[in-house]
Structure 1
Amino acid sequence: MDIKLLEEPFLQFSSGQHVCPRAGIYNYTVSDINNVRPDKIVVGFVGSSDSIGTLISWIKQCRSHIDAKKSNQPNLFTNFPGFNSKIAFKSEIAYDESYVRKINHSTFEQVKKSSDDINDLITKSVEIYLTEIKFLSKNKNPDVILCVLDEQFTKMIYGTSTVEVENSLLDEDETLEVEFNFRRLLKARAMEYNIPIQIVRDRIVKPSSEMQDQATIAWNFFTALYYKASGTPWALKKTTNNNTCFAGISFYKSRDKSTTQTSVTQIFNEHGNGVILRGTPVKESKKDKQPHLSEQQAFDLIYNSLTEYYEAVKIFPQRLVIHKSSNYSEEEIEGFQRVAREMKINSIDLVTIMPTNFRLYREKDYPPFRGTMISLDKQRHFLYTRGFVEYYGTYPGRYIPSPIEVRLFSYDESPEQICREILMLTKMNWNNTQFDRKFPITIDCSRNVGEILKYVESDQKPQIKYSFYM
């Protein structure tokens, strides 16, 4: 067994590099500052009058500096510089009254009274918001639409519930349990209007003690908003001259869990640009009880994804890294390698990333450092993506951290480089500016996308940008 510590990866910003997204934006501005970018983000608002008014007041306050939470670890909590045209993001929010679509309290009350159960309430609530989203998309075309939720109403509709429904394919006495989730249903239904939405709970204006501090909330909110408006807050620091792209493959079941699982792939380059593509239904293997693609399905999924990727960024990668949360079958390996041969991709790495019960312990009470890599052999490794972070001066977690297991089924790059890239990709989540995520964006994204796609109708074409799913 070999143990080594990988250095904390740097991110690329406009005029410099830094390990921390917040410090990098603060000191060096966003990475796309010299490109066509969202220096003015036009937003639309949908929600009750009170909630929208509260959020607008908060957005105005966020134009100015917000002090960081007092802490013995100052790097863990960073003050927010303000979202304005002078510093950091160098962007500003724009709107007028015609971009504000207010939903009357009486409308919400009527929906609550007329709903038979929580699932009916969720469906009708989504329709209320969709009506206003449709209006904004057809008449105003903002960059992002903010769907503001009143906290009291949120507690009624948020979360996931199930309802039993009859299925004509089953016996008369048999039913199916169908999942209902407001957030997933709204994001899926809103895709047809071609504008990313941001669901905002109005409680962020006055966060409780269980929530993040005000500066952190502002960092996360405006970073996500900037990305959804087609901005690039930060990029990966290039470590090789190769044009590399990273693909994440996952599977999801239908809302009633009765159908075969469907594959989905996401492809990113170092700037976070890329595409999302829904594949075809697959069958579960009798050997390992996991879903697997046939050779042709594996070929088609990546071939079609790379074709869409080329249409988006106008270049094919020289190297392809595929991350999967389950093991590879021989058919999948052959299908993916055939794509690489046909598309003249120089190298391909097939990597499985999964949770594990393996633990490593340091002396005293400190957990292992983030970046600790344990190699059992050339194909099997463990990587601590969460742990003691030197930049933060602490382990910013509540529970004992565990590593992820990294299995290499086929690889051209070194195991150390592959693990270093996984560590880098944990920092590419634009929903959270604390950089020590457990899983890389390839795996995180694939899970998020699958949860939304199960609500997209089979005859509806999903959006290819990740901004519609986050």
Structure 2
Amino acid sequence: MKLQIVEEPQLAFFQNDLHVDIRAGLSTFGAFDKGSASVPTPIRIGMIGTTATVDGVRDWLERCKDGVPSDEQKLKALRPAFPGMTQQVFGTSLELSDTLTRTITRHELTAALRNGNPLPHLVEVFMDHARDLASKSGLHVLVVAPPPEVFALGDVSQGIGIDPPIDELQQPAPEQEVAPPSVLNFHDLFKAQAIDLQLPCQLLRPDTYGSPTAGRVKGRRIQDKATTAWNFHTALYYKAGGVPWRLARQPALLTTCYVGVSFFKSVDGDKLMTSVAQVFDERGEGLIVQGGSASYDKDDRSPHLSEDDAFALLANGLATYRREHKNMPARLVMHKTSSFNAEEKAGFRRAADNEKLEVLDLVTVRRSGVRLLRAGQSPMIRGTSLLFDDASGIVYLKGTVPYFQVYPGAYIPRAIEFIREDGETSSAELARELVGLSKLNFNNTQFDSGDPITVRAARRVGDILKHVPANKKVNARFRYFT
């Protein structure tokens, strides 16, 4: 066994200038593709809400134009001021006009809320306006701002920039135990209906732009005002087509594609699970590929694919990658929260061999029951990894962050375990990659996310896809799911 600490991975910003911190990098250098043709200037946003929420969002955006000061007195690197969408940072601005705003009337809202099953009716009310706005040319992002009573109908802990109080990966993986039926919420139902609009949507909670107590969900952490502004504006930049930052690429390493594989059940939990792959390039752009049905293995109680379905899933994922990038990666890393059986390995290998990939790493990633302790009262340092051998180990993606000089979390961090079940990459390199992939969540500008983007995306995509009708065309880009 070997104990080591992975150095905080560098991120690339404008003109490939490097920094370990997202907000410091954006403030100092600017977004990675600032000024490129893929970033609209200005970013034209449409908005749907009630009179009160539309006015609240307008006022908040106006206040954010000139920046939002930080209330932090000591840990200024952890909670820096938001400078606004300046030429230095994002190189663009937001534009919202009355013609691109739709107001939900009190009558529409009340009628939907009085229904015995109000959520689907509320979604349809908002979707009627969304379809109308999506038909307008030149619109880049749609902001949806429901009132507090809509959010009160279901828990929406995945709002803009807010991580769950306990990281998703710390919870038992849904495919490893019998889960209760899903809790319906407006966020996931609306995203499922809007997935074919060809217009990215951003839902906003009242506590983002208004009172800290408005529409507050029990257990939801409220961020400081500057952090909220950072997260919202960065997410809008990404959804409009921009790349805020990317992992700094080491020239000596092979060009790599990362794939997260997950499974999800129907809303009632009765139907067989369906596989889905999230294909990420080194820029962090995600592409969604749906696969075939899965079945539980009676021995390990985990879902698995047949060899043919495993082959089809990865073959379709690589075809999607080729259409996007006009080439193939030299190496592919697949993350899965359950083990790989013999049929899956054979199917994935066959798909990789067909495209002549040089390296295929099949890696199981899951929460770990192993804990490491350090002297004193501070939690483990982020990046601490214990390598069991050349193919497995644990790594802390949350913990004390030397750059911040503090542990930013509210709960005792837990490590994740990784096992390379096939391939050749060392455990030290796999641990380094997992730490890096935890910095590619474009909805959160605090970089110590508790799970890699491959796993985080798997959960979010599954939460939404389970509500998508079978005949609805799904947009392949991950930015439509966040």
- When the two structures are aligned, how many residues end up with a matched partner? 450
Give the % identical residues. Answer: 33
Q: Is 2:232 aligned against 1:232? A: no
Alignment of 1:61-460 (within 5 A): 61-84=63-86, 86-113=87-114, 115-116=115-116, 120-159=117-156, 180-208=184-212, 210-239=221-250, 240-460=252-472
Measured after TM superposition, the shift of residue 273 of structure 1 is 2.3
Q: What secondary structure does 1:338 align onto?
A: helix
| Deviation per residue, 1:310-348 (Å, 9 max, x gap) | 111211111101011111111111111112211010111
Letter in 2 for 1:25: L
Q: Which moved more, 1:26-35 or 1:65-74?
A: 65-74
Label 1:139 to 1:208 Cα distance change in 2 as closer, same or farther (>3 A): closer
Separation (CA, whole Å) in 1 of partners of 2:140 and 2:411:
39
| Deviation per residue, 1:41-64 (Å, 9 max, x gap) | 110010101110110111111111
- In structure 2, the partner of 1:171 is none
Separation (CA, whole Å) in 2 of partners of 1:394 and 1:178:
36
| Deviation per residue, 1:250-300 (Å, 9 max, x gap) | 000011111111100011111122410111111111110100111111111
Q: What secondary structure does 1:226 align onto?
A: helix
- In structure 1, the partner of 2:24 is 23
Separation (CA, whole Å) in 2 of partners of 1:459 and 1:30:
38
Q: What secondary structure does 2:243 align onto?
A: coil
| Deviation per residue, 1:84-116 (Å, 9 max, x gap) | 3x2211110113211010111222122223x12
Measured after TM superposition, the shift of residue 367 of structure 1 is 1.3
Letter in 2 for 1:294: S
Measured after TM superposition, the shift of residue 122 of structure 1 is 0.3
Separation (CA, whole Å) in 2 of partners of 1:367 and 1:107:
50
Q: What secondary structure does 1:345 align onto?
A: coil
Q: Which moved more, 1:299-308 or 1:178-187?
A: 178-187
Greater strand fraction, Structure 1 or Structure 2? 1
Label 1:58 to 1:4 Cα distance change in 2 as closer, same or farther (>3 A): same
Q: Which moved more, 1:137-146 or 1:243-252?
A: 137-146
The runs of at least 4 aligned residues of structure 1 exceeding 4 Å deviation read: 157-160, 176-179
Measured after TM superposition, the shift of residue 35 of structure 1 is 2.4
Label 1:399 to 1:203 Cα distance change in 2 as closer, same or farther (>3 A): closer
Q: What secondary structure does 1:385 align onto?
A: coil
Measured after TM superposition, the shift of residue 199 of structure 1 is 0.6
Label 1:225 to 1:328 Cα distance change in 2 as closer, same or farther (>3 A): same
Measured after TM superposition, the shift of residue 180 of structure 1 is 2.6
Separation (CA, whole Å) in 2 of partners of 1:137 and 1:22:
31
Separation (CA, whole Å) in 2 of partners of 1:458 and 1:398:
40
- In structure 1, the partner of 2:168 is none
Q: What secondary structure does 2:152 align onto?
A: helix
What RMSD in Å do the two structures reach over aligned CA positions? 1.6
Q: Is the 8 A contact 2:311 2:351 kept in 1?
A: yes
Q: Is the 8 A contact 2:151 2:185 kept in 1?
A: no
Q: Which moved more, 1:386-395 or 1:408-417?
A: 408-417
Q: Is the 8 A contact 2:150 2:186 kept in 1?
A: no
Q: Which runs of 5+ in 2 are unaligned?
A: 158-179, 214-220
| Deviation per residue, 1:51-82 (Å, 9 max, x gap) | 10110111111111211132422211111011
Q: Is the 8 A contact 2:155 2:183 kept in 1?
A: no
Q: Which runs of 5+ in 1 are unaligned?
A: 161-175
Alignment of 1:3-14 (within 5 A): 3-14=3-14
- In structure 1, the partner of 2:166 is none
**What TM-score, normalized to structure 1?**
0.93
| Deviation per residue, 1:368-424 (Å, 9 max, x gap) | 111111012222201011111000101111121111001110122222111111100
- In structure 2, the partner of 1:168 is none
